[in-house]
Structure 1
Amino acid sequence: METQPSILVIDDQPDNFDVVETLLDGEGYQLYYAPSGKQALARLNSFQPDVILLDVMMPDLDGIEVCRCIKANPQWQTVPIIMVTALTDKEDLARCLGAGADDFISKPINSLELRARVNSMLRIKQQYDNLQALLKLREDMVNMIVHDLRNPLASIVLSTEILRFTNLSLEKQQQKVEQIAIASHHLQSLINSLLIMAKLESGKMVLNYTEVDLSTLCISALADIEAIAAQKNLTLISELPEPGGIIKVDAAIFRRVLDNLLSNAIKFSPSNSQVILRAEYLAAGGAKLQIADSGLGIPENLRQSIFEKYETGTLNPEVSQIGLGLAFCKMALDAHHGTITAEDNYPKGTTFTVLLKVA
């Protein structure tokens, strides 16, 4: 349910508020009233309206000064102000605009004009709010991506420094080289996912459908994560159909979906547990894949939002996560006209189910 736009009317005459309320009746606005500039400023400390209707001629603190005070405060200055005035002199109107007012309307107020000006200011406020939300999302996105890219990069730098300046046995050297290879693969995977997501989102990605053996694709994906799983002493279990069955997908993108889901399962699985990859062909055509882990599980209220870009919920504060891998899977499967869902893996963990329709 959408929130009603709020309008604060600042006027020392209560009758004028009644007039505004009558003229805006039926528009779906939530109206509030302040009988003086001082009371309005005090109220703004705990409440921010979407638009302010501000009378110019008020005792004590007039509308011009109130407008200056509001526009001087960074917390309030984005709220559009419509000055309501009986003044018609060009200099007086210029003073209103000079004080920071966004628009003005002359008394006596005309219903059609009032509604049009309020709607105009609400559009401007909505555009500003949308822009701020986008900038906040972009800032959060950059911070989270940098955080997740930094982890494998730090591992590469640290292992390289140890190899350069420390006398290690051949076995230890091999372990560090393996750590560098794993971190490099993770780093490359993150970057590739970002690039593919950008293309999918812009509509510029054209899927290259080819016939792929499902079992062979799954076995290859499992083989590539064996070393990562071994670091946590995880057992990889595969329940796959006999080789020879064919699905039609963009092999490179669908393989990345598998990589992301398997990596996600490994990331959230505790040591000495297992990750299961199941696959089967459907009688109606297409295929069904499931990746099951033994992690903490996903609360039911988060099972949709985890597929949104940069949304992670509060799955595990000890695990680095930017909400990118699952969003990529969702976008890639949408492009394939497939689906992905998450459900409980009893007695503990999560099962991600991928359904592919006939291409």
Structure 2
Amino acid sequence: MDNQPFILVVDDEPDNFDVIETLLFREGYDLNYASNGHRAIARLKTIQPDVILLDVMMPDLDGIEVCKRIKANSQWQHIPIIMVTALTAKEDLVRCMAAGADDFISKPVNGSELRARVNSMLRIKHQHDKLQTLLQLREDMVKMVLHDMRNPLTSILLATEILLLPDFPIHKQPNKINQIISSVQHLQSLIDDLLLMAKLESGKMMLNFLEIDLNQLCLSALTNFEAIADQKNLRILSELTQSHLIVNLDALIFRRVIDNLLSNAIKFSPKNSQVILRTDDLDRGGVIVEIADSGSGVTENLKQVIFEKYEVGTLMPEVTQLGLGLAFCKMAVEAHGGKITVKNNQPKGAVFTVFLPKV
């Protein structure tokens, strides 16, 4: 819902609009006026109000017919309509509801009642908008999951078909087998991210806190990414504080946080650049882990949403675009009582910082 909800008032009497405007003056709504039913319908072709206040007794095209036409249109039928009527007979009110009206208010309009009914309809509209956003998000997520799974599946299929060729050289078989293993691991990583996030969100995952040497955990992660970094001629540097940094954490979950951040840094860093992993002891304040790259960086707008599910940063060809890694990092770090942030690197790139409290 917008910061300033938009309300369309449809009434053939301008004085009635003035009354409603006065009664809703302090609510901060954006009020718009249509003097008859035809103009109201024409207005809907260019604007999408959050609520419609619709007068019943209008010449030419009355409010009940306008309501029917709006509710018959799939693009408009979700807009809540409050019928404003001087009619009091139950049969007339039944006609309003049968036409698709969501609520009604009697004339003369009472200010408190009007504000309460408008607020009620705005809540319904907000719930509808939120649901539509979630449905669109789910649709986008399915597309991204299918897109990101298609590449490793295609690689597995092609490598398998090549292995089955009768004249394929035996000495080249290990390379194809390694290609299949790598693709399977990629798929497994995507599935693990989805499952772990689902558990974290539902609160069903119990973290196994142990005293862990954070520096050793980071060095282990760096070792696993050296081969991947070599393919882009990247240098992975470690700047670790002191020899040991003991922290209470779930080693498996937090190792996955480091892996995701390192993977992102390598993917988005240009060739012949470097990625730096730092740790620092803030004494009683806690500890931090920083991963700095020399990539395209993160814009100010993206900094506000990059840790949300299915949000992606700079779109790059041949790079997985499923926005789960950073969202998982945020959930996992917060489950440890910590915080993850991103800032600009100098002269270019991004620095992701994870803060963990000392327990």
Q: TM-score, normalised by structure 1?
A: 0.90
The corresponding residue for 1:99 is 99
Q: What's the CA shift for 1:38?
A: 0.9
What displacement does 1:2 show? 5.8
Match of 1:239 in 2: 239
- Mapping of 1:52-71 within 5 angstroms? 52-71=52-71
Is 1:265–2:293 an aligned residue pair? Answer: no
Residue range with higher mean Cα deviation, 84-93 or 173-182: 84-93
How many Å separate the matches in 1 of 2:112 and 2:282? 61
How far 1:280 sits from its partner (Å)?
4.1
Residues 327 and 142 of structure 1, relative CA distance in 2, 3 Å threshold: same
Residues 1-359 of structure 1: pairs in structure 2 closer than 5 A: 3-165=3-165, 167-240=167-240, 243-284=243-284, 286-316=286-316, 319-359=319-359
Residues 174/235 of structure 1: CA separation in 2 closer, same or farther (3 Å cut): farther
Higher mean alpha-carbon deviation, 20-29 vs 6-15, is at 20-29
Contact 1:212–1:248 at 8 Å: present in 2 too? yes
How far 1:282 sits from its partner (Å)?
4.0
- Kept in 2: contact 1:298–1:315 (CA 8 A): no
- The number of residue pairs the alignment matches comes to 359
Q: Deviations over 1:150-209 (max 9, x none)?
A: 222322222222222364434532222222222222221221122221222222222211
Quote how far apart the aligned CAs of 1:71 are: 1.1
- Encode CA deviations 1:204-236: one digit per residue, 9 max, x unaligned: 222211122233322321232333334334333
Contact 1:305-1:313 at 8 Å conserved across structures: no
Contact map agreement 1:296 1:315 (CA 8 A) in 2: no
TM-aligned CA deviation for residue 262 of structure 1: 1.3
Contact 2:315/2:321 (CA < 8 Å) preserved in 1?
A: no
Secondary structure of 1:305's match? coil
Once the two structures are TM-superposed, the CA of residue 34 in structure 1 deviates from its matched residue by: 1.0
Shift of 1:271: 3.2
Structure 1 stretches lacking a partner, 5+ long: none
> CA contact under 8 A between 2:234 and 2:275: conserved in structure 1?
yes
Q: Distance in 2 between matches of 1:246 and 1:109?
A: 68
Query: CA–CA distance in 2 between the matches of 1:107 and 1:205?
Result: 56
Give the aligned residue type for 1:169. P
Runs of at least 5 residues in structure 2 that lack an aligned partner in the other structure: none
Deviates more, 1:283-292 or 1:75-84: 283-292
Distance 2:31 2:149 in 1: 48
Counterpart-to-counterpart distance in 2, 1:152 and 1:201: 27
**What is the Cα-based RMSD across aligned positions, in Å?**
2.4
**Structure 2 vs 1, CA of residues 285 and 38 (structure 1 numbering), >3 Å: closer, same or farther?**
closer
Q: How much has 1:285 moved relative to structure 2?
A: 6.8
User: Are residues 34 and 212 of structure 1, via their aligned partners in 2, closer, same or farther at CA, if it must alter by over 3 Å?
Assistant: same
Distance change in 2, residues 1:317/1:41 (3 Å): farther
User: How far does residue 244 in structure 1 lie from its aligned partner after superposition?
Assistant: 4.7
Q: Secondary structure at the match of 2:355?
A: strand
- Going from structure 1 to structure 2, the CA distance change for 1:185 and 1:228 (only over 3 Å counts) comes to farther
| 3-state SS in 2 of match to 1:307 | coil
2-structure distance, mates of 1:241, 1:103: 65
Paired AA for residue 63 in structure 1: G
**Distance in 2, Cα, partners of 1:37 & 1:154:** 56
Output one character per residue of 1:250-308: Cα deviation in whole Å (capped at 9) or x when no partner: 00001101111111122112334333323344444743322232322222332342112
> After TM superposition, which residue ranges in structure 1, 4 or more long, deviate above 6 angstroms?
none
Supply the distance in 2 between the matched residues of 1:18 and 1:206 (Cα, whole angstroms). 59
Q: Give the CA deviation at 1:318.
A: 5.2
Contact persistence 2:10–2:37 (CA under 8 A)? yes
Q: CA, structure 1 residues 264+15, in 2 after alignment: closer, same or farther (shift >3 Å)?
A: same
Distance in structure 2 (CA, Å) of the matches to 1:333 and 1:98: 52
Partner secondary structure for residue 341 of structure 1? strand
Q: 1:119 to 1:298 in 2, by over 3 A?
A: closer
User: Cα 1:309–1:12, aligned 2, differ >3 Å: closer, same or farther?
Assistant: same
Distance 1:168 1:235, change over 3 A: farther
